[in-house]
Amino acid sequence: MQSQVIVLGGGVAGISLARTLINDHNVTDILLLEARPELGGRAYTETLVNNATGAVTTVEKGCNWIQGPGKEPILELADKWGLQTARTNYSDSAWWYDHFLDEQEQAVFTEGYDNFIEHAPGYSDLSVRVATSIMDWIPVTPVQKAYEYWNIDFTFAQPPEDCSFANAFGQEAGIENEVDDFVIDQRGFKYIFVQEAKELFGQDLNDPRLHLDTTVRQIDYSGDQIVVRTDKGDFSAPHVVSTFSVGVLQHQDVQFKPQLPDWKKEAIFTFAMATYQKIFILFDRKFWNDEQAEAMGVLRKMYDDVPEPLDIVVPRWHADPLFRGSYSNWPLGVLEEHHANLGQPVKKGDAWIHFAGEATSYEMFGYVNGAWDSGISTANAIGQCINKGDCPDAKIYDALKTCPQESSMRRRDGAPRAPRRHHRGPRGGK
């Protein structure tokens, strides 16, 4: 089957791509291929079932908060579709502890960032571990270690040794401790994206341009057209867009023929796909205080009489060949040029393989917002190429051999000064 554009993946990025191509560029000759029987990708609801009563509870296996930089378009969609949310901030999270750090100790951590960034020009990128050590945060006691875990591992889904201070932590540090919107809608976070897709592909999603249950095996760009080989047959187009996670690309779950060029492989393999794990447990009755809630092990330490759970969901994001992790994170040693290459298309004659998805967003990687935005900007580039002949002339940094000499210890453009807490908000966590 032949079309003008093939969108690979029906997550947030794939849906925003299709929407922008059709609505803003009148590029309607498209196909969207998705391996799962439903749309939404990591906007992924799971159900817990009470077998005794048949009652079903929806939980967010993936994204749950509308948060982070550039979240306004997602808030607009939530408003448009009446998505039910609850306002939360960091201090709303339930904690169980006997003691915590006093304010002075916390200040070493939270204010150290500001001081460090002011006084550290000249450093190249450092791991969060090294940078926080220089700012005199060296956790020794279990409480200090827990506090650090809460601030770093919990948010980035990676330890401080792996995170880039300038590009992961530094970026997040610029975000105020703002109020976020936690999705509590039983239709799921995905609802707003699926509704958008229904405006394109019909209420029953039975438009022939949408192919669910279709797993991509290979992207063959050895000829004039790009051929996408799937378990349901071959599809070809001059523009093919991968919105697969960087984890899927790293695991080579989808083969490229020929192999991708070095500059692209370097970009794919330098970025990190982290795993953020949630656990959901359904009980037949509430036996905890409102102030306290944790997983089974903690519950059993806290309460003598913990009933048997009715249902448990433990997502295995890293093992899932359609995701290979939960969200991307910027590791130490990745230059901005590497990241730019991650989003650049691979050109072959008059055909292009484009790359979108959350990891390709410079300001919003890791977030739903980044996925949505990457879909729009990639669709704009394709629309311009098809309608105006102004086609992407990829700005590629050839395989990078050296680190830049100037410091990368700086705030991201537009990041507010004087952050008091660096957080992505609980993503659960994030």
Ligand X SMILES: Cc1cc2nc3c(=O)[nH]c(=O)nc-3n(C[C@H](O)[C@H](O)[C@H](O)COP(=O)(O)OP(=O)(O)OC[C@H]3O[C@@H](n4cnc5c(N)ncnc54)[C@H](O)[C@@H]3O)c2cc1C
Interface residue list for ligand X (CB under 6 A):
9-14, 33-36, 41-43, 62-65, 67-68, 215-216, 243-245, 248, 253-254, 276, 278, 317, 322-323, 326-327, 357-358, 366-369, 371, 427-428, 430
- Report which of 1, 35, 2, 5 is spatially closest to residue 379, judged by C-alpha positions: 5
| Smallest separation (angstroms) from ligand X to the CB of 16 | 8
400 Cβ partners below 8 Å, 6+ apart? Answer: 263, 266, 335, 337, 338
Q: Of the two residues 54 and 208, which places its CB atom closer to ligand X in the complex?
A: 208
DSSP 8-state assignment for residue 321: T
In the numeric block, which tokens belong to residue 283? 């009980």
Given the complex with ligand X, which of 63 and 409 has the nearer CB atom?
63
- Type of residue at 311: D
- In the complex, what is the shortest distance from the CB of residue 104 to ligand X, in angstroms, rounded to a whole number? 31
Strands 327-329 and 210-211: unpaired
Whether the CB-CB separation of 274 and 327 falls below 8 Å is answered with yes
Residue 341 vs 361, nearer CB to ligand X: 361
E strand or H helix at 378:
helix 368-388
Q: Which two structure tokens, joined as six digits, stand for 122?
A: 């000249």
Q: Shortest gap between Cβ of 155 and ligand X (angstroms)?
A: 10
Shortest separation between residue 181's beta carbon and ligand X, angstroms = 10
Give the residue from 390, 361, 395 showing the smallest Cα distance to 16: 361
Tell the smallest beta-carbon distance from residue 214 to ligand X (Å).
6
Question: By C-beta, is 157 or 386 nearer to ligand X?
Answer: 157
Q: Of 251 and 348, which has the nearer Cβ to ligand X?
A: 251
Question: Cβ of residue 290: shortest distance to ligand X, in angstroms?
Answer: 22
Closest contact distance (angstroms) between CB of 248 and ligand X is 5
Report the SS3 class of residue 230.
Answer: strand
17, 163 Cβ separation under 8 angstroms: no
Q: Judged by CB, which is closer to ligand X: 63, or 152?
A: 63
Between 161 and 213, name the residue whose CB sits nearer to ligand X: 213
How many residues in the chain?
430
Instruction: Output 194 or 409, the one with its CB closest to ligand X.
Output: 194
Angle in degrees, 0-180, between the axes of helices 72-80 and 368-388, rounded to the nearest 10: 90
CA gap 265, 249 in Å, rounded: 9
Count of alpha carbons within 13 angstroms of residue 315, beta-carbon side: 28
- Nearest distance from C-beta of residue 209 to ligand X, angstroms: 15
- C-alpha span between 342 and 310 (Å, rounded): 43
